[in-house]
A and B are shown apart, each in its own frame.
Chain A
Amino acid sequence: MERNAILQISKIGKTFDTRSGSFEALRDVDLSIAEGEFVSIIGHSGCGKSTLLNLVAGLEAPTLGGIFLQGALVDGPGPERAVVFQNHSLLPWLTVYGNVRLAVDKVFGNRKSAVERDEWTHEMLALVNMSHAAEKRPSEISGGMKQRVGIARALAMEPKVLLLDEPFGALDALTRAQLQDSVMDIHARLGNTVVMITHDVDEAVLLSDRIVMMNNGPAACIGEIHEVNLPRPRRRLELSENAAYIAARTAVMRFLTRHRIEKAA
């Protein structure tokens, strides 16, 4: 695992300076992620999991330690670590196509011709089943559709690591299940490395190769890591009886419950 790690999170610490003094959000977070791996980071709200994702994305800088992508230090955001934001973050003045094309133009502007970029944009929209709404504006499509476009925009950058920040948190259960299937399908086809923040146990177990469970903050760190040894492709209906699925689910639930109680006491 350590050998072909594409992403190395090394002894990360993050302290925020707030008005009421400094707040240590993360301490000694160590994690390496292999190429093609799907890793979920789960924990109670406020455990610093979103902070961790922001650090990997480069939107914030760690106070201590470093993050390495293929051996190179991450020192700012970049399209090789594309983010799908929780609230989709589509630009409302652009069409669905325009939102994806914006990213395509920026990333491939000097490598691909306009025709190729157009084709690539349409290909990405087709990948998330959004071709039919290419000329619609974000205000004209549903929340689930927006998130699909967000995923298409991120994938269009051909990121080395795809970062998902609670991507389905704001969606209803049915839409969420649909999108989870889409993400699994895309992951199977493209084999990209994915780091997903979530607070949904079933989502984590269903999608991940490994589930990283985080302690509650302040000074949160990795509590446990559970490997999900389930063959792919996974079908959510067949899994409900599967022993490995139940074991993973129980492990995560137990961890989260224990930490909830600790916090309450």
Chain B
Amino acid sequence: MKTAALSIVAKEEPQEVGAAPAVPAARIEEVSRMDTRSTRIEAFLRPVILPAITFGVILMVWTVAQAAFLPTFPSVPEVWAKAVETFASPFYVGGPNDMGIAWQVMYSLARVLSGFFLALAVGIPVGFLIGSNKTFEQAWMPLIAILRPVSPLAWLPIGLLIFRAVDPSAIFVIFITSIWPVILNTAAGVKAIPQDYLNVARVLNFNRREMVTKIYVPATLPYMLTGMQLSLGTAWMVIVAAEMLTGGIGIGFYIWDEWNNLSVPSIIVAIVVIGCVGILLEASMNLIRRRYDYSGKKE
């Protein structure tokens, strides 16, 4: 598999930049004069051209492989046509179980965010307790250690049993997904607070509330945000699987539904959409995180 991919890349290269080596050989002086400008252009184009080549190669492999060995797999034009159709009416509503892709994504996002914020509401205080209180830490860490490696989906039946409805159960699964990184990162942040900050607070005779609002929270915030970023990323992955099991509206069930309809092009479109939403979530968390990152200002 690997060698096949490599040989294709090797074949690809001479076509793309075939003429390139000959040019600098002929006009070395001119090239050296234009060196600074060309490197600047290169620096600008590299992040565009290199991924474009990758995508091109993937599409090529896809086309070749589909034609050669996987006739049941949709072709690139088929998927493209499906994408155009899907994005033509993203907010289309044809009934409670037949909605446009934008609605599917929004229902999934709503579940993810509900579970995520519930996890923050519980996880941050618990993280503070575990980080600041040795007794609490010793009492709770073993339980967390056992539960953390469990796939959040294992909790879905428990959720269904408790809530007797699919929506709260999916939110419950996201809650379980999100809570561990929030707790652990918050606790780590609290533990990492330098004694110096606490001494400053003690000299100023801060009371408990001031200690929390003026030292603990701001000092821990970067850690908390890292935990949140991890949680949100994982939650977005888990929701797809959870919705496949729960049904209803949502990008996960959409994929399952389209599989039942044998509409594989829709599934591929959905995969790309999920990826893009994931990037957006990640980017917005990065933005927030950088806003509150006071440590490494000089990058």
Contacts and interface: CB of A to CB of B under 8 A. Distances in A.
Interface of A: 57-59, 76-79, 81-83, 85, 87, 89, 91-94, 102-103, 106-107, 137, 139-140, 157
A102 B210 CA distance: 11
Contacts of B40: none
Contact of B295 (A92, A94, A106): A92
B204 A79 contact: yes
Contacts of B199: 59, 77, 83, 85, 89
Contacts of A103: 204
B116 to A, nearest CB: 24
B290 interface: no
A91 B205 contact: no
Contacts of A106: 204-206, 210
B203 A93 contact: no
A77 B198 CA distance: 11
Contact of A79 (B203, B210, B292): B203
Contact of A140 (B203, B204, B218, B297): B297
Interface in B189-237: 194, 196-197, 199-200, 202-206, 210, 214-215, 218-219, 221
A107 B204 contact: yes
A139 B203 contact: no
A144 to B, nearest CB: 17
B217 to A, nearest CB: 10
Contacts of A140: 297-298
B215 A91 contact: yes
Contacts of B210: 106
Given A77-B205, A93-B221, A139 B295 contact: yes
A93 B219 contact: yes
Nearest to A88: B196
Contacts of B221: 93
Interface string B259-299: 00000000000000000000000000000000010111110
Among A57, A85, A92, A103, residue most surrounded by chain B Cβ atoms (within 10 Å): A92
Nearest to A103: B204
Q: Which 5 A-B pairs have the closest CB atoms?
A: A89-B196, A77-B202, A93-B218, A92-B294, A139-B297
B297 to A, nearest CB: 5
A153 to B, nearest CB: 8
Contacts of A92: 294-295
Contact of A102 (B214, B295, B296, B298): B214
Name the interface size band of chain B: 20 to 34
Interface of B: 194, 196-197, 199-200, 202-206, 210, 214-215, 218-219, 221, 292, 294-298
A89 B206 contact: no
Question: At the interface, is chain B mostly helix, strand, loop or mixed?
Answer: helix
Question: At the interface, is chain A mostly helix, strand, loop or mixed?
Answer: loop
16 contacts: A57-B203, A58-B202, A59-B199, A59-B203, A77-B205, A81-B203, A89-B197, A89-B199, A89-B200, A91-B218, A93-B294, A94-B218, A102-B204, A102-B214, A157-B203, A157-B204
A82 B194 CA distance: 18
A91 B297 contact: no
B202 A59 contact: yes
A137 B297 contact: yes
Contact of A78 (B197, B203, B214, B215): B203
Contacts of A93: 218-219, 221, 292, 294
A78 to B, nearest CB: 6
Nearest to A57: B203
Contacts of B296: 139
A180 to B, nearest CB: 22
Contacts of B214: 102
B218 A87 contact: no
Contact of A137 (B203, B204, B205, B294): B294
Contacts of A102: 204, 214
A93 B210 CA distance: 15
Contacts of B297: 137, 139-140
Given A89-B196, A102-B214, A106-B210, A77 B203 contact: yes
Contacts of A89: 194, 196-197, 199-200
A137 B292 CA distance: 12
A59 B215 CA distance: 17
B203 A91 contact: no
Nearest to B296: A139
A62 B248 CA distance: 67
A83 B218 CA distance: 22
